[in-house]
Chains A and B, each alone.
Chain A
Amino acid sequence: MGDPKEITTLQATTILISTIIGVGVLPLPLFAVRAGETSAPFVTLTGILLAAIGLMILTYLGMRHPKKTIITYSQDIIGKWLGKLFSIFVIFFFVILTSLAAREFGAVVVTAVLRETPLEVTVIVMLLLASISCRNNINVFSYIHNFYVPMILAPVLIVVAFSLKNANSLYLRPIFSGNDIRDMAAGMLTISALFQGSFIITMIIPSMKSPKKALKASFWGILVSGGLYLLIVIATVAIFGPEEIKQIFWPTLELARTTAIPGNILQRLDIIFLAVWVLAVFTTLFSSYYFSIHSIKELLGLKDHKMLSYFILPFVFFLAMLPQNILHMYEIIQYIGRAGLLITIMYPAFLLIIDFLRSWRKKKNVAKSS
């Protein structure tokens, strides 16, 4: 029931890509435009860079402790009880992240596809799917991600490529529109928060064949997913323009709706896009759910995580149903996302600094004694 060390660098990359690309794809251009108007691509780029810095810090920290996850090495770095306390915050944050992803999925499905289906049912189905899939070991986890990545990437790239024929480059100018810098910073943090799933790398490194290549996996993971996010924002802004996007809840879905394959083969691609989006949401939810139960397992010192997959299900569902409506939900998502950067970027940075200081002191003591 232990985790074998069989994950390759490519598998680690695909896990990162499919984990990052998720529910956030749909409202992404809206978040970017609200923050920067025509500077939306620039705001997105800064958000991606911030997320990349956080991911690199976390990966480097993981490479310094290749046999442990953040739950266990944090106890070595800052002490057992403080490490456990911060780990509880990390786990709780990922449980909230899972519940919000499930709720966002439910909201989109109920609004755009299954209008007669109760919201609770769509949320339960997705959570049940994730909880059953989480009962497997980390190898199956990586196979599932590996299998779905091409199906997630290809249709999104097709939608972006075919939509560009209607693009108006004037909508993208001026690149720096001189908006309120505080709005732009807030937008940058919100977009950076869409990459928080990349925290999963801390759980992947101990199961990798060669943990030394984790940095390479992180680089390609953030490059592909960030590049795709940037392309989506550029295409959406170039087609609808900032003012139109502000009136749309899920601009990426509208982009797929207005895109046609030439020759009248398919006059709108929203249904194909939604089918792919369901896969993307599943892989994101799967990762955050798996990370939560895997971390609880490590915190409690258990050898297996299966019983936890069912145990946390009612709590995740309860948290998912707390937002009163879509507006309330997005308000919470933005707030939790920004606050979560303290956990996903600041906490690893803090651990890395303490770890550097500890190893420096150790070296100094060894030099003194010799």
Chain B
Amino acid sequence: MYIGYLNFVIAICWVTGLLILLTDVKAYQNASLKKEQKVSKFLGWVNISIGFGLIAADFIYTRFMW
């Protein structure tokens, strides 16, 4: 399967994760929406972690399995 778009996926994961953490978390804090604040913080970190996870998986695949 062609996965030449992996770099784009990693970049989008990081950008969207950062955007959630930098904009939404603060907006929910100001609006006193605690559950939403917690969920947005979690989702932001999930996206950033997926980005790092994909880099690690790509490194392992190209270095040791290809």
Contact = CB atoms under 8 A, between A and B. Distances in A.
A125 to B, nearest CB: 12
A312 to B, nearest CB: 9
Give the top 8 A-B pairs by smallest Cβ distance, nearest first: A307-B40, A310-B16, A307-B24, A314-B12, A311-B43, A321-B5, A314-B13, A120-B8
Interface of B: 1-2, 5, 8-9, 12-13, 16, 19-20, 24, 27-28, 31, 33, 35-36, 39-40, 43-44, 46-47, 50
Contacts of B13: 314
A306 interface: yes
B2 A300 contact: no
A324 B3 CA distance: 10
Q: Which of A300, A304, A307, A317 has the most CB of B within 10 A?
A: A307
Contacts of B46: 311
B8 A124 contact: yes
Given A314-B50, A324-B2, A307 B9 contact: no
B51 to A, nearest CB: 8
A81 interface: no
Given A120-B5, A302-B39, A321-B5, A307 B20 contact: yes
Contacts of B16: 310-311, 313-314
B49 to A, nearest CB: 12
A174 to B, nearest CB: 45
Nearest to B35: A302
Contacts of A313: 12, 16
Contacts of A303: 33, 35-36
Contacts of B47: 310-311, 314
A1 B33 contact: yes
A303 B31 CA distance: 11
Contacts of A318: 5, 9
B43 to A, nearest CB: 4
Contacts of B9: 314, 317-318, 321
B3 to A, nearest CB: 8
12 contacts: A304-B36, A307-B24, A307-B36, A307-B39, A311-B16, A311-B47, A313-B12, A313-B16, A314-B47, A318-B9, A321-B8, A324-B2
B19 A310 contact: yes
Interface of A: 1, 120, 124, 300, 302-304, 306-308, 310-311, 313-314, 317-318, 321, 324
Q: Is the interface of B mostly helix, strand, loop or mixed?
A: helix
B20 A310 contact: yes
A313 B15 CA distance: 10
Nearest to B19: A310
Nearest to A302: B36
B33 A317 contact: no
Contacts of B36: 302-304, 307
B2 to A, nearest CB: 6
A306 B35 CA distance: 13
A304 B12 CA distance: 22
Contact of A304 (B5, B19, B33, B44): B33
B41 to A, nearest CB: 9
B21 to A, nearest CB: 10
Which residue, B16, B24, B40, has most C-beta atoms of chain A within 10 A?
B16
Contact of A317 (B1, B12, B28, B50): B12
B31 A1 contact: yes
Q: A304, A306, A308, A314 — which one has the most chain B CB atoms within 10 A of its CB?
A: A314
A311 B12 contact: no
Contacts of A124: 8, 12
Nearest to A317: B12
Nearest to B14: A314
